[in-house]
Amino acid sequence: MESQITMKGTMTGSIADFRRAARDWLEANVPSEPSPEDGPDSRTYVLAWQKTQAQGGWAGLAWPREVGGRGLSVLEQIVWFEEYARAGAPSPLNASFVGLNHAGPTLIACGTPEQKAYHLPRILAGEVIWCQGFSEPGAGSDLGSLRCRGRVEGDELVIDGHKIWSSFADIADWQELLVRTDPAAKTSGALTWVICPMDAPGITVRPIRTMAGPHKYCEVFYDSVRIPLANVVGGVNQGWATAMSTLSFERGTAGLALLIGHTLKVEKLLADCPMNRPELRLRIARLRAEGASIRAATYRFALDCESAVPDASGSMMRLSFAEFAQRVTAAAIDLYGIDAAQVVGAHGWGHDYLDAFSETIAGGTAEIQRNIIAERVLGLPKGPR
Binding site for ligand FAD (CB under 6 A): 131-135, 140-141, 165-167, 217, 358, 361-362, 364-365, 367-368, 371
Q: Which one of the listed residues 37, 76, 82, 250 is annotated catalytic?
A: 250
Q: Is residue 250 flagged as an active site residue?
A: yes
Closest separation between CB of residue 342 and ligand FAD, Å? 23
Q: In 3D, which of 345, 256, 244, 335 has the Cα closest to residue 295?
A: 256
CA angle, corner 262, sides to 16 and 34, nearest 5? 90
Name the residue nearer to ligand FAD (CB basis): 166 or 237.
Answer: 166
Closest separation between CB of residue 261 and ligand FAD, Å? 17
Within 246-363, residue ranges assigned H as helices are 253-272, 278-305, 314-336, 349-355
Beta strand extents in 101-167 (DSSP E only) = 130-133, 149-153, 156-167
Name the residue nearer to ligand FAD (CB basis): 135 or 263.
Answer: 135
Closest separation between CB of residue 358 and ligand FAD, Å? 4
Name the residue nearer to ligand FAD (CB basis): 211 or 275.
Answer: 211
Q: In 3D, which of 195, 194, 154, 160 has the Cα closest to residue 174?
A: 195
Measured CA distances, 23 to 20, 56, 74 (Å): 5, 13, 17
* Residue 206 C-beta-side C-alpha neighbours within 13 Å: 8
Name the residue nearer to ligand FAD (CB basis): 304 or 375.
Answer: 375
Closest separation between CB of residue 222 and ligand FAD, Å? 14
Q: What is the DSSP letter of 260?
A: H
Distance between CA atoms of residues 59 and 156, nearest Å: 34
Name the residue nearer to ligand FAD (CB basis): 165 or 349.
Answer: 165
Name the residue nearer to ligand FAD (CB basis): 108 or 131.
Answer: 131
Helix H, strand E, coil C: the string for 52-93 is: HHHHCCCCCCCCCHHHCCCCCCHHHHHHHHHHHHHCCCCCCC
Cα 329 to the center of its chain, rounded Å: 20
Instruction: Please give the residue whose beta carbon sits closest to ligand FAD in the complex.
Output: 140
Q: In 3D, which of 157, 158, 190, 177 has the Cα closest to residue 220?
A: 177
Closest separation between CB of residue 135 and ligand FAD, Å? 3
Q: Are 47 and 96 in contact (CB under 8 A)?
A: yes
Residue 319 φ then ψ, to 5°? -65, -45
Catalytic residue annotation: 250
